[in-house]
Amino acid sequence: MAAMPTSALASAFLLFLFHGASRTLLAGASSSEADRSALLAFKSGVSGDPKGALASWGASPDMCSWAGVTCSGTVAAAAPRVVKLVLTDLELSGEISPALGNLSHLRTLDLSSNLFAGRIPPELGSLSRLKRLSLSFNQFQGSIPVELAWVPNLEYLNLGGNNLSGHIPASVFCNGSALRYIGLYSNSLGGEIPSCPLPNLTYLVLWSNNLVGGIPRSLSNSTKLRWLLLHSNILTGELPSSHMFRGMGSLKYLHLSFNYLKSSNNNSDLEPFFSSLTNCTGLEELGIAGNDLAGTIPPVVGRLSPGLTQLYLEFNNISGSIPTGLLGLANLSILNISHNHLSGPIPPGIGGMQRLEQLHLSDNLLSGNIPPSIGTIPSLGLVDLSQNQLIGAIPGTFGGLKQLLVLALHNNQLAGAIPASLVQCVNLQKLDLSHNMLRGKIPSGLLSGGLRGLVYVNLSCNLLEGPIPATIGEMAALQALNLSSNRLFGSIPPELGGCIALEYLDLSGNTLEGVLPETVGRLSALQVLDVSRNFLTGSLPLSLVHLPKLRRVNFSYNGFSGEVPSGGAYAWSPADAFLGNTGLCFTGMMTMPGLPHCGGRNRRAVLPVVVTVLCFTLAILGITACSAMAAGTTILRGGDGRRSTTTLLSYSGYSEEPRDHPRISHRELSEATGGFEQSSLIGAGRFGRVYEGTLRDGTRVAVKVLLDPKNGGSGDVSRSFKRECQVLRRTRHRNLVRVITTCSAPPDFHALVLPLMRNGSLESRLYPHDGRLVRGLSLARLMSVASDVAEGMAYLHHYAPIRVVHCDLKPSNVLLDDEMTAVVADFGIAKLLKEDNDNDEFTGSDADPCNSITGLLQGSVGYMAPEYGLGGRPSTQGDVYSFGVMLLELITGKRPTDVIFHEGLTLHDWVSRHHPHEDAAVVARSTSLTESPSALPADAMAQLIDLGLACTQHSPPVRPTMVEVCREITLLTEDLAKHPMASVTASEGSCTTMYSSF
């Protein structure tokens, strides 16, 4: 073969290079076009783009110029590839296209804070180069795709704030050593936390799920951990100790609160846990609240990181004294050890904690004087020492707290005068000194324009004297004023009409005289007015008729005379609001039992001296009762420092096997539930466990077995069992759970046999653990459930043979039967009221709050009315609050505990921040409603929110009754039936108050 000329070789080589380059360019162009097609497929799955974020997509052929898209560098030999797709907080809705899995060069995918729904596409597991994946704060459902385990270089995984369920896939959780951030918080994930070594893990954020089991010991290998946030789950076992934290010098945030963890040595020793944290020199926040932990705070707590700024130990069973070592944590800004059983004095050296901003010591057994050094802490904004046994005077040094917003010292045994120096707390918003033994006059300037920010003042149940200062009219921001049950005298100042924001006014139980000024009629926001048990005279102000929000008045046991005005609050007030005023009469068509008709034959003459003696006696009795409460006689405490309660009911007529109920033996119940096997367990709570089973006749039942203390029970099993039987035996309503029978077997077996509710509880509907149930409710079903619960509660409060306060109303205690009818269940801590009493007076001891069966918190955090935490008696108004929280939860899809413990707000406060101008934001990410937010009638949702907020007002008297709630739901349902977009029918979700048939 002849040799090829040099020129020919050169030409051939150039041709080869040209063809190779052409093929590379063509391949690059093809890959680039594949990325473009994937992006357009993603856009096609977006059903809502209110901000027009994707308007540029497709308009320009250059995909790298599209909003949110970042490409790799462009060179002559290669086409651009998509490496980042970041579209956050744009209100995008729809589903994510699986085509995103074709973006083979993608390194960052961030679609957080949108409204995407559906399932997370498993095709995302094909993104082999992906390092950062964030789909947080959307509405994704279903399980976490196991295909994400195929992403070998993933460093950041954030799926928090969605509706994900199922278990955490171990293959994803334990995928290699690259993962640094795992965020699966605020979902409905169940199962255990996978155990595997994660040497590079820096952030583990799993709060607010349904995770069970213990904290994996394998986390001790994650020595780079900075955040370990596992709070608000169902974790069990002991608090980590020993070597768990030995190598975690960088740990900053450790939150294990609101689980079911125990301390060492059978829940009696906290020292091993605190000792294990002494090597965590970077620790800044520590939370182990709400675990029912027992033991004492060990001295070693003072050896925790000097940089510790927040310590949360509240809602436990910690006893003993406050150790002086705790005072060595000089950088603490928040110290919360409230709701425990701490005793002894508050250490005088607490004033050395000069950086404290919040001091929570309430609801303990602390005694002695309040250290004056507290008043020297310059940044204190909240001081809550309420519900203790503190004595002595309020330190005058408190006047130096210039940043103080909240001062709560109520329900102690404090004496002496209110310090005049408190008027120097110019930022004060809430002042509660009630239920003490304070004497003297209200300091000049305390109720004046000098404290313009005060919105809540409660000085009730003390021994205060003197007149109400006329300067009170300068307090334009004041919303609630309670001066009841003192020894105040003189007249009610007309200047009171200047308190234009006042909603609640209680001046009862004093020795006030003169007339009730007409200027009270200027209080357009007033909802509750109580001036009973005084010596007021003259006529009732006609101006009150025109107050649009006034719902409750009480003028009883005074010296009022003349005609009771017609209209307004006068028209719908009960007759007992006017009793004890012999000079009063009614006119026209009004009927008021106990009051004569003006000029009629039935007018009775009563000796004025008798009335005067009666009024004086009632006033003295009111003051004496409050003084007794201040002296601590209303809550009995045993020798072990824990609260106890008096017997509330006589059970002489109690039968554990009521007549007409079938007798079922322990053996049959054991057979029905497979020996109470774990596989039959469908629910668990503080007092017991619930198993599903089948009786010998084929009846499907739920068996609630109350736990004996030695088997994990609370120690109040017998009382809880009797209480629930007592309620269920004496009440019957279609919206209350029906008991089939009960079973007691010696020595310690107690069980309730109930119909099996195949649709589970309302909580399981909202937050299904295993994916078997459909999540959420339609608006029609929401209204129906709300109506059912309201009917059941209205029956208990107003129409049952024995009036009942439930005390623990929440979604897990609302069951759904085969027809999705809601029934109220779990009356283990219910309270029974006097049968012939319409004023909700409590039978038995005056102080048996819903959280005091054993001194532990029995009402549920987030649903419990705020007055219960302040020592309030169980009341129907407390149940109304719980109903309101549940209604707001249905609307927003937010658990109240999430809002309280993660945002520092109640659910009421969170919703109030948005209502009424941003109602769309309230329901935008709701997981409770199956309709899209745009399909919901805005006016109807606003009315529902209004009702929820009304029920959750802080002041109990201003909340509606359950009968009024029923009426509002009925009206709202009728309005919805007329709405063109509504699916609610007139028959579904309507409340009725016809209870005579039950």
Indicate the annotated binding residues for ATP: 704
Query: 872: which DSSP letter?
Result: P
CA distance 323 to 296: 9
Please name the residues in contact with 875: beta carbons below 8 A apart, sequence gap of 6 or more: 805, 840, 842, 865, 867, 956
Name the pairing type of β-strands 552-554 and 511-515.
unpaired
- In this structure, what DSSP letter does residue 471 have? G
Tokens of 201: 């893990």
DSSP 97-158: -GGGGG-TT--EEE--SSEEEEEPPGGGGG-TT--EEE--SSEEESPPPGGGGG-TT--EEE
The strand ranges marked E within 370-486 are 382-384, 389-391, 406-408, 415-417, 430-432, 437-441, 456-458, 463-466, 480-482
Contact 518, 493 (CB under 8 A): no
Selected catalytic residue, list 716, 808, 826, 898: 808
Q: Which two tokens stand for residue 357?
A: 């901003």
Q: How far is Cα 941 from Cα 972, in angstroms, rounded to an integer?
A: 10
What is the residue-wise DSSP string for 893-954? ---HHHHHHHHSS-HHHHHHHHTTTTHHHHHTT-SSBSS-GGGS-HHHHHHHHHHHHHHT-S
Q: Which residues of 563-584 are buried (b: 16+ CB within 10 A; e: fewer)?
A: bbbeebbbeebeeebbbbbbeb
Which of 868, 909, 904 minimizes the C-alpha distance to 892? 909
Q: What span, in angstroms and rounded, lies between the C-alpha atoms of 384 and 400?
A: 16
- Please name every residue paired with 311 in a beta bridge, in sequence order, or none if there are none: 286, 335
Q: Is position 808 annotated as part of the catalytic site?
A: yes
> Nearest CA to 631 among 443, 475, 435, 773?
435
Q: DSSP string spanning 844-858?
A: S-S---TT-SSSS--
In terms of C-beta distances under 8 Å and separation of at least 24 residues, what long-range contacts does 602-606 make, across chains too?
606/582
Question: Which tokens sit at 198?
Answer: 């994660």
Binding residues are 704
Could you tell me which residues come within 8 angstroms of residue 152 by beta carbon, excluding any fewer than 6 positions away? 128, 175, 176, 178
The SS3 assignment for 320 reads strand
Give Cβ neighbours of residue 678 (< 8 Å, ≥ 6 apart). Answer: none
> Would you tell me how many other CB atoms lie within 10 Å of the CB of residue 306?
12
Residues 6+ positions from 252 with CB-CB distance below 8 Å: 226, 227, 282, 283, 284, 285
The region that residue 793 occupies, defined by phi over 0 for left and psi between -120 and 50 for alpha, beta otherwise, is alpha
- Taken in order 598, 603, 609, 610, the sign of the CA dihedral is negative
Please check whether residue 279 is in contact with residue 304, taking contact to mean a CB–CB distance below 8 angstroms.
Answer: no
Tokens of 556: 């009883």
User: Quick one: DSSP state of residue 177?
Assistant: S
Query: Which strand ranges, in their side-by-side order, compose the sheet holding 317-320?
Result: 294-296, 317-320, 341-345, 365-369, 389-391
First to last CA, the chain: 112
Residue 256 tokens read as 């294990």
Own/partner long-range contacts of 72-79 (Cβ < 8 Å, ≥24 apart): 72/105, 77/21, 77/24, 77/25, 77/28, 78/24, 78/28, 79/25, 79/28, 79/29, 79/31, 79/32
Q: Which residue has the tokens 């219960």?
A: 868
State the catalytic residues.
Answer: 808
